[in-house]
Amino acid sequence: MESKGADASARAAQVAAVLDAACALRRAHDSNVGWSDDELLEGAQALVGEGNERLQRGDARGALQKYEECRAFGQAMRDRKRAMAVEGAAVGNLGDAYRRLGQYKKAIEHHTMALAISREIGDREGEGNHLGNLGNAYDSLGQYKKAIEHHTMALAICRKIGDREGEGNHLGNLGSAYDSLGQYKKAIEHHTMALAISRKIGDRQGEGGTLGGLGNAYDSLGQYKKAIEHHTMALAISREIGDKQGEGSDLGNLGIAYFRLGQYEKAIEHHTMALAISREIGDKQVEGNALGNLGGAYLSLGQYEKAIEHYTMALKISREIGDRQGEGNGLGGLGIAYFRLGQYEKAIEHHTMALDICRKIGHRQGEGGTLGGLGNAYHSLGQYKKAIEHHTMALDINREIGDRRVEGSALTNLGTAYLSLGQYEKALERLAAATAVFDALWAGLRTDHDRITFGDTIGFTLTPRLLQRVHARLAQPEAALEVAERARSRAFELLLAQQRVQRGADAAAAPPPTLPAAVDVAALRGLAGRQRVALVIFSQVQDTALLAWVVRGDAPVAFHELAVPAQGGASPLTQLVEQTRQTIGAIEAERGDGRTAAPDESYIRAALARCYKLLIAPLGLSAGEPLLIIPDRDLFALPFAALLDSDGKHLIERHSLRIAPSAGTLIELEQRAADRGAPPPRPPALVVGDPDFSGWTTKGGGHLSQLPGARAETSVVQGLLNTFKAKLRLDDEATKEAMMQLLPTSDVIHLATHGAPDGLYFAGESEVEATLSMAEVQGLDLRARLVVLSACDSFKAPKGEGGSELSTDGVVGITRAFVAAGALTLVSSLWKVSDDATRELMRRFYTAWVAGGDVAAALREAMVGMIEEGRWSVREWGAFVVYGMA
């Protein structure tokens, strides 16, 4: 009922607008009888000025009325050429107004008429303007190649007739179109040329607009600091010249830049200021845009009610001013918000209204997106055939307009629906096609921003997991394994990109990604045989479901589907891992100083036994065989060594253990080790402990605590490395600068210092000077056989992120950074361990390793020795893990 009322209101408003326009035309025609052409021209110019003023205020309907009256004045002129000139200008202005109203087909129709008139009367300046306006209309429709074609023709005309201002405008428009196409270097090139022209002719408003265009291009490149810098300069110019509309636009652009950075509160702050300005100057369209942007920010914060409130206000304004695209955007935003709230019927209602608008105004990109939203809502309601129908239409549109990313998403959505229907062959066909699309997109990415944005899409996360499920249903476990390994390898490339961006690295300078070499089952068997291990590979494909493979060098691949019972709330696997860590006391240790009282032993044993029963017992492992485990997601935080079998034995007592981020990583490490050959007779070692943290403060204004226990630990380690040329760095000698010099030349590296996913901390005069980021580690050329991190909080979220205690990206990121830099093996802890226990474990570990054992065997000997001694708890011996080579 609400929808019908809104439609009736809109129809009534349209009828009223038509009647008003007709009356205005009659009044203009009646009143100008007997006027001279000069008088008519003067009147037409006044009407254009009035129309422009209304358009600037966001009153596009009022502008339409004035432009139609202007057109009537032109038609009343006796001089045909002058009449056509006035009519051409009026028709072009009508096109602008229709574009502002989101009526792009009408805009193109009017600009095309205006272009024909300009060509007929030989008005080259007008011809250039109308070509540019057509370019803008095509740009609004997402037809960027057509937009570029028209802007290029307009640019050529402006250069020929010496119209420098027009030349700058068209260069800027070309920059925006290239930005939309993802051709960011071309975008910056054109905006830079436009900026030079604006500055040369003193066009301050053009200069501000071009700076905004450059800001948008840098935003697209992921160079957020540069984006904010340019938008800030544009904002300063707009305020200096009193351009309130430009000021509102610049604030909105800054809000979008902060939104892209995930700084939603700052985005809200800037969009709120843009909203206030739009209301001050009466620009209803900008007001609607600001409200819509606020809705998007609140949506990302999970504040769905606030998002709905702002989308509703934006929708009301769009309907008031006749902005059809804005109306469609508002309805689509509401559809997404209701979908997130689980109100699928309301989501369908709003997406359906948005779809109707997109079809009427010819907005194919919006139509495809809305069909996808409808498909998702029908899928959530269990109406899979309807979901398939809508996703198929979305797929056809996205292929037609060339939107490859959304094409891949549509194929994934279709695969999901066919999987839900049990039509596995059809699901496989769609998901394989989606994978091909996403592979091609990944190969074409050139910036870290694009890689991270891609990492948020279903192509990166969901498609591989769905494909594994389908292969499992079709009894193709080896194909599922190859999909899992490929997805895992690409995820590590994403982590590297995230680390660079977190530290403000120049995303454009980052090397282009390469698709990981396919690791097939034969390569996995070869790896297992050479390493003399059983590869145990996990992949989480649903909240309650894991796939597991055991790969040996001389046996068929063993495949298992594991179920993790749902517990309500968060992901059952996340809960399993967090509860186990909490029961051990790992989380308490992270919060305190590592000396809190140990939990009840019976609870610990029960938790560890439960994990063993769910994850290890079904695999049928042979006692004594070394294991190389490749976990997935939250399983990286699980202390596998401590898991307890039915005989009361810990897994480390039955097997030596190693962890790897992916099989591809191990193959890479094998090749690296072969290339290096044997170490020299007395290889160099670096031992670092208890850096002086007093010279700098954290963002919170405090100091990191000193590590007196690390000083004693490093003394023990240095003594055990007596066959190495060991260098010891303590206190103020343990600076980041010293590390950058010494790390690349060391064969063994032992770092007893604070660390977290965003970096390792040393002595220095400021946090930046003291923090060795993972991005900086990546950039080092390491030759190390072994890196030991004995005091890292690998599983805490990076500073400022908050959230869950568990952050598995930490250890994966640290491991990947050191591996990328050249290290062969890394030993790190899953939680803080007491000084005494760390020192004891390191003493036992280095004694065994220096005596000739491999790293995994040496760590196993140290752990088993502490277990057998009987006085050490799981929390004290179970934290350390070997990553990489043995």
Closest CA to 726 of 543, 571, 850: 850
CA–CA distance, 211 with 328 (Å, rounded to integer):
29
Same fold, 11-122 and 679-884: no
Q: Which DSSP helix (H) or strand (E) runs through 502?
A: helix 477-502
**Lowest-pLDDT choice from 35-49, 218-232, 587-601, 744-758:** 587-601
What is the CATH number that goes with domain 679-884? 3.40.50.1460
Q: What is the dihedral of CA 90, 91, 92, 93, to 10 degrees?
A: 50
Structural contact between residues 107 and 99, judged by C-beta atoms closer than 8 angstroms: yes
Q: Does 25 have pLDDT greater than 60?
A: no
Task: Output the pLDDT for position 811.
Answer: 55
SS3 label, residue 124? helix
| Confidence at 504, pLDDT banded by 50, 70, 90 | low
Q: Does 583 have pLDDT greater than 60?
A: yes
Residue 9: phi and psi, rounded to 5, are -60, -40
| Confidence at 799, pLDDT banded by 50, 70, 90 | very low
pLDDT digits (tens, 9 = 90+) for 830-868: 998 999 999 999 999 999 999 987 999 999 999 999 999
Task: Output the pLDDT for position 681.
Answer: 82
Task: State the average pLDDT over residues 561-582.
Answer: 88
State the residue for tokens 């031992």: 687
| Confidence at 486, pLDDT banded by 50, 70, 90 | confident
Q: Does 612 have pLDDT greater than 80?
A: yes
Residue 561: phi and psi, rounded to 5, are -105, 120
pLDDT digits (tens, 9 = 90+) for 454-470: 666 666 789 999 999 99
pLDDT digits (tens, 9 = 90+) for 614-654: 999 999 999 999 999 999 989 999 999 999 999 999 999 99
Task: Output the pLDDT for position 446.
Answer: 62
pLDDT digits (tens, 9 = 90+) for 526-550: 999 999 999 999 999 998 999 999 9
Task: Output the pLDDT for position 96.
Answer: 87
Task: Output the pLDDT for position 553.
Answer: 94
Task: Output the pLDDT for position 502.
Answer: 54
Please provide the distance, in angstroms rounded to a whole number, between the alpha carbons at the two ends of the chain.
69
**Lowest-pLDDT choice from 747-761, 846-860, 872-886:** 747-761
Task: Output the pLDDT for position 507.
Answer: 44
Q: Does 599 have pLDDT greater than 80?
A: no
pLDDT digits (tens, 9 = 90+) for 238-274: 999 988 889 999 999 999 988 877 789 999 999 999 9
**Lowest-pLDDT choice from 498-502, 665-669, 678-682, 805-809:** 805-809
Task: Output the pLDDT for position 495.
Answer: 61
pLDDT digits (tens, 9 = 90+) for 52-83: 888 777 677 888 999 999 998 888 888 888 88
What is the CATH number that goes with domain 11-122? 1.25.40.10
Task: State the average pLDDT over residues 308-334.
Answer: 90
Q: What is the pTM of this model?
A: 0.76
Domain ranges of the chain: 11-122, 521-659, 679-884
The residue type at 254: L
Length in residues, the chain: 886
Q: Count Cα neighbours of 720 within 13 Å in the Cβ-side half-sphere.
A: 23
Higher pLDDT, 283 or 568: 283
Task: Output the pLDDT for position 57.
Answer: 72
Q: Does 322 have pLDDT greater than 80?
A: no
Structural contact between residues 630 and 488, judged by C-beta atoms closer than 8 angstroms: yes
